[in-house]
Amino acid sequence: MNLAPKLIYGTAWKGEKTTHLVISAFLQGFRAVDTACQPKHYREDLVGEALEILQDKHSIKREDVYIQTKFTPFSGQDPTQPLPYNSRDSIPAQIKSSLSKSLASLRTSYLDAYLLHSPLRTLPLTMEAWRTLMAAQDEGTVRAIGISNVYDVGVLKALEKERKVQIVQNRWYEGNAWDKEVWAYCKENGIIYQSFWTLTGSPALLTHPYTTSLADKLDVTAEQILFKLAHLNNVVPLSGTTSELHMQQDLAAERIVFKEVLDDYKRLTDLIWS
């Protein structure tokens, strides 16, 4: 599967509805899914169930699907729920156990991408974790490696001394000023930048006159404008919508053309990057 899908279906907080929603998203046209081996927020097993149903009943083959999951450090886990590893084990042992659990839950022999869900509590531990991901990549179990929730370019530079970071997944929204420093580093260094919290976290931009005016002129939604803006700025958004209509609209955003409204588009981008 292509390393850089234009849009990814996010499965956080879907609970028991995960199977139904992933199937629905893929039947609307999604071909990429993001999850994590973190029981308190994700049902990785139900993502796997959905992918199996899509293959068996809808002929959507594994090789046509982008599957991305994450190793979540103990600090991000709920210790009252079953953990995918023994928290007393070494970091490499924890990652190997979590990865094995992910592969089994997702019913696949490989992952298109495997991310650290966040930096660990110290840089040396983060580096140890990164080297374990590198080993999994060398073995062919994962095709691309990366990190999420990393807002310090220094961490990325440290990781890249060992191996190139291929994916960063961060909040990209008005509340963190669009993560300008990390976004720019990724753009300059050929790193795929994925975003989450982009719509939910940006109510002011979605209702700004520049956005609504542009949406009205193109007969699309403000949310579609923001997703198209993301695409044009080297950002791959995650969509976690539960609405089939919004799934269709999110996918259609890629086809929006700003050719006749370039001044309006520039005004909106200046608003973000100013």
Quote the pTM value. Answer: 0.97
Q: What percent of the chain has pLDDT over 70?
A: 99
Q: Tell me the angle at which helices 153-160 and 123-139 cross, rounded to the nearest 10 degrees.
A: 50
E-only strand ranges, the chain: 8-10, 32-34, 66-71, 113-116, 145-148, 167-171, 192-196, 235-239
Sign of CA dihedral 225, 175, 194, 108: negative
Per-residue confidence (pLDDT) for residue 105, from 0 to 100: 98
**What is the arithmetic mean of pLDDT over 171-192?**
97
- Mean pLDDT, rounded, for 11-36: 98
State how far the Cα of 214 lies from the Cα of 208, in Å rounded to an integer. 10
d(CA 2, CA 223): 25
Q: Residues 32-63: pLDDT tens digits?
A: 999 999 999 999 999 999 999 999 999 999 99
Phi, psi of 250, deg, nearest 5: -60, -45
- Contact call for residues 188 and 231 (beta carbons, < 8 A): no
Given a cut of 90, whether residue 268 has pLDDT beyond it is yes
In contact, 113 and 236? CB cutoff 8 Å: no
Contact 78, 39 (CB under 8 A): yes
Tell me the backbone φ, ψ of residue 99, rounded to 5 degrees. Answer: -65, -45
